[in-house]
Structure 1
C-alpha cells in the first residue's frame, strides 16, 4: 500500500495542478468601473437615479458577454457616495483610484466633479460626468475630463433667451444656492439676460441646505420682477417655488436641470405649474433610444427615470467602447482611445471636442402641467 501511495501521489498532484491551471485560465478578468453621486442627503434620489443607469449598462454588457484581447471580461460597478460634499468627493475619488478602476462615471454635481477631477487626472483615469454643467470642469486642461451634457454657458443663455423672447420679461430677480453649479448657472443666465436688455433687479445667494426662503422672497415680491431665476437643485428649488406661491408671487420661476426633475411636483406641490426649467441634454422622449431605455429602466428598478440615468448609461458604454477600440483593459490605453469616440447610444451620437465637451450639445426646456413635466422645446447649441 505504501508503494502504491507514492506512485499515485505524483499523478494526483499533477491532475490537481492541471485542473487548477485550467480553472485560472478560464476565469474572467474582473474590470471595475467607478460611479459617484450623492446617495445620502437631499438629492439622494438623483444620485440613485444616476447609479441605476450605470448599473443597468453594466448588467446588460455582462449578460451579452465582453471579450477584450481574447480574454473574457466581467465588469463590476464600484459605487461611491459623495453626499454632494466636495471634501467627501475627493476622498471617494482617491478610494476609486486605490480600487484600481479603469474609468469613472461621475460625479453628479459640479461642486464635487471639479475637485475630484484633479485626483483622476493625476491617476490617469478617464472621468465622464453625466450631469456636471459648470464650464470650469473641462477648462482645467485635464486630458481625463469628459462630459455627456451641455454646459451652463449654454444652459444659462437658453433660459435667458426664453425669458426674453417667449415670456417677454423685462426684469428679473436672481437667487442661487452658492454652489459651483447654482452660482455658475445663475451667473451665465445673468450675463445673457443683461445682453438681451433684461433688467436684473437683484441677485441673492442662499445655500444648498436651505429650507426657508421667505425673507428673500418677501424682498423679491416688493421688487415685482417679471421672472425669478433660481440656480440650485430640486431639494431647495421645490420649497423655493412652493413658498413663492404661498406669498402670492406671480412671477414665473426659471431654473436649470438641477430643479428639472420628476420629483419636483412632490417638493413644490401645485407651484410646479409656475416653473419653467431646462435640461442640459436631449429630452428623453427625443432621444433615439429613449423610449426603449425607459421601459428597460422601469422594468429593472420599478420607478421612472428622474433625469440623468440615460447619460450615466451611455457613459458606461462609452468607456467600454474605448476599451474595445484599445483592445485593452489598461486604463492608459482606454484613456488614449477616448478622444476618437464616436458612439451611438440612447442619447444618439456622442463625440467630444478637444476639451472633452460634447460636440453637439442640446438644451431642452420644460414646464409642468398638473405636476407632470412637459417638453416645451429642444434647442441645439
Structure 2
C-alpha cells in the first residue's frame, strides 16, 4: 500500500504536466494533393505552410502572454473528393485548431462541411469555386478571388484585347475546371463573338485528339481551357501537332511556372494568356519578391503558384489567434472576420461570405518558356 500511495502524487503530477504540455501546442492542419497529377502544386502548398509555421515558431509565438508551439499536421487529399473528406475527418479527430486548405475546389467543398460541423476554421489558399463561400459556413474563408472574377476578367480580355471572335471552350469536368469555364462563357459577349464549340475531358486523360479535331474544324481563334497545368501543357502539344494556331487561355490552374515545361515549344511566344487569383502593385511588390527569395533559399527551387497565398493564410489565421489571445476557433473566428492583415499577396480582409475583399487578379503570358507578368486588375 505504501508503494501505491507514493505513486499517486507522481501520477497526478505527470498528468498535469502532460496537460500543460498539450495546452502549449496549437495544431494547424494543412491539406493539399501531395500525390496525383497536381502533386507539384500540393508540395508547393505544403512547403509554404511549413515555412510560415517555422517562421512563427522561430520568432516565439505567444497567446495571452504565454509561448506556444505551432504544430503542422500535413495531409494528402490527392485531389480526390473521397480522400479529401477522409483526411478532413482525420484532422477533426486530431482536434486541430484550424485548417489551411484544400487546393482543388472539388476537395475543398465537400471537406468544408466536415470542418463546419466540427466548428473548425478553414482558410483555402486556392479554391475559386463560388459554391465554397455560398454555403455560408461561418468559418470558411479564402484568400483568392473566385471563378466569377476569373472567368469574367479573362472573357473581357479575350474580346477587348485579343479581339477573339470564334472561341472554343474545353473543361476537365472538375468543380474548378467546369466552374471557371462556365463563368467565362457567361461573360463572353460582344458583336460578332461566338462560342463555336464546347468540349470536355477529364483530369487524368492524356489523349485529346478527338475533342481537338472537332474544335479544329470550327476554326477558333481562341481556345479557353478550364483545368490544371497537368492537362493544359500536354493539350498545347497536341494542338500544335494538329496545326491549331489559336490563342490559348485559362485560369489560375494552368497559370504555373511548370506550364512551359509541360508544353515544351508548344507554349509559343505570347500565345498563352492566363490569370492568377491575386496580385500586388507598387510598394507591395517588394514583399512578394522577398517571399519568393526566402522560399527559394529554404527549398532550393522557385514557387509554383499558390505558395504565397498559403503562407498568408497561415499568417492571417495566426494573427487572428493573437488578437483573440486564444487558439479556440470559437474565440478567434470573430477576430478573423474583422481582420485587416498586410500579407505578401496584399491586404487581406474578408467580406461577410468569407471571400477576400477587393480581390485582385494578375494576367500572365509566357515568353521564352517563362511565365511573364502582364498586368494586375481589380
Report TM bin, short chain.
over 0.9
Check 1:236–1:196 CA distance in 2 against 1; reply closer, same or farther (3 A cut): farther
Please say if residues 48 and 311 of structure 2, whose CA atoms lie closer than 8 Å, have aligned partners that are also in contact.
yes
Superposed CA deviations along residues 191-241 of structure 1, whole A, max 9, x for unmatched, are 101367520011111111111111111111110011000000000011111
**Of residues 189, 196, 201 in structure 2, which corresponds to 1:194?**
189
Superposed CA deviations along residues 152-211 of structure 1, whole A, max 9, x for unmatched, are 100001111111111111110000000000000000000101367520011111111111
Aligned to 1:312: 310
**Of residues 282, 293, 306 in structure 1, which corresponds to 2:279?**
282
Aligned to 2:345: 347
SS of alignment partner, residue 189 of structure 1: helix
Aligned to 1:364: 362
Matched, 1:35 2:30: yes
Aligned to 2:320: 322
Please say if residues 194 and 200 of structure 1, whose CA atoms lie closer than 8 Å, have aligned partners that are also in contact.
no
Check 1:129–1:22 CA distance in 2 against 1; reply closer, same or farther (3 A cut): closer
Task: Provide the C-alpha distance between the structure 2 equivalents of 1:134 and 1:27, rounded to a whole number of angstroms.
Answer: 36
Please say if residues 351 and 358 of structure 1, whose CA atoms lie closer than 8 Å, have aligned partners that are also in contact.
yes
Task: Provide the C-alpha distance between the structure 1 equivalents of 2:147 and 2:88, rounded to a whole number of angstroms.
Answer: 24
Aligned to 1:211: 206
Aligned to 2:375: 377
Structure possessing the higher radius of gyration over alpha carbons: 1
1:258 Cα deviation after fit: 0.5
Aligned to 2:227: 232
Check 1:180–1:24 CA distance in 2 against 1; reply closer, same or farther (3 A cut): closer
1:79 Cα deviation after fit: 0.6
Please say if residues 280 and 345 of structure 2, whose CA atoms lie closer than 8 Å, have aligned partners that are also in contact.
no
Please say if residues 170 and 198 of structure 2, whose CA atoms lie closer than 8 Å, have aligned partners that are also in contact.
yes
SS of alignment partner, residue 187 of structure 1: helix
Aligned to 2:171: 176
1:331 Cα deviation after fit: 2.0
Check 1:218–1:30 CA distance in 2 against 1; reply closer, same or farther (3 A cut): same
Please say if residues 90 and 115 of structure 1, whose CA atoms lie closer than 8 Å, have aligned partners that are also in contact.
yes
Aligned to 1:3: none
SS of alignment partner, residue 230 of structure 1: strand
**Of residues 238, 252, 260 in structure 2, which corresponds to 1:243?**
238
Task: Provide the C-alpha distance between the structure 1 equivalents of 2:50 and 2:178, rounded to a whole number of angstroms.
Answer: 31
Q: Which runs of 5+ in 1 are unaligned?
A: 1-5
Query: Cα RMSD (Å) of the superposition?
Result: 2.4
Task: Provide the C-alpha distance between the structure 2 equivalents of 1:248 and 1:117, rounded to a whole number of angstroms.
Answer: 43
User: Please, what TM-score do these two structures have when normalized by structure 1?
Assistant: 0.92
Q: Which sits farther off after the overlay, 24-33 or 241-250?
A: 24-33
Aligned to 1:266: 261
Task: Provide the C-alpha distance between the structure 2 equivalents of 1:208 and 1:222, rounded to a whole number of angstroms.
Answer: 24
Task: Provide the C-alpha distance between the structure 2 equivalents of 1:79 and 1:221, rounded to a whole number of angstroms.
Answer: 44
Task: Provide the C-alpha distance between the structure 1 equivalents of 2:325 and 2:274, rounded to a whole number of angstroms.
Answer: 42
Please say if residues 159 and 190 of structure 2, whose CA atoms lie closer than 8 Å, have aligned partners that are also in contact.
no
Aligned pairs, number: 372
Task: Provide the C-alpha distance between the structure 2 equivalents of 1:320 and 1:90, rounded to a whole number of angstroms.
Answer: 24
SS of alignment partner, residue 68 of structure 2: strand
1:336 Cα deviation after fit: 2.6
SS of alignment partner, residue 373 of structure 1: strand
Please say if residues 107 and 132 of structure 1, whose CA atoms lie closer than 8 Å, have aligned partners that are also in contact.
yes
Task: Provide the C-alpha distance between the structure 1 equivalents of 2:162 and 2:131, rounded to a whole number of angstroms.
Answer: 30
Please say if residues 28 and 71 of structure 2, whose CA atoms lie closer than 8 Å, have aligned partners that are also in contact.
yes
SS of alignment partner, residue 306 of structure 1: coil
Aligned to 2:68: 73
Aligned to 1:297: 295
1:242 Cα deviation after fit: 1.0
Q: Which runs of 5+ in 2 are unaligned?
A: none
Please say if residues 135 and 151 of structure 1, whose CA atoms lie closer than 8 Å, have aligned partners that are also in contact.
yes
Check 1:151–1:18 CA distance in 2 against 1; reply closer, same or farther (3 A cut): closer
Task: Provide the C-alpha distance between the structure 2 equivalents of 1:122 and 1:218, rounded to a whole number of angstroms.
Answer: 47
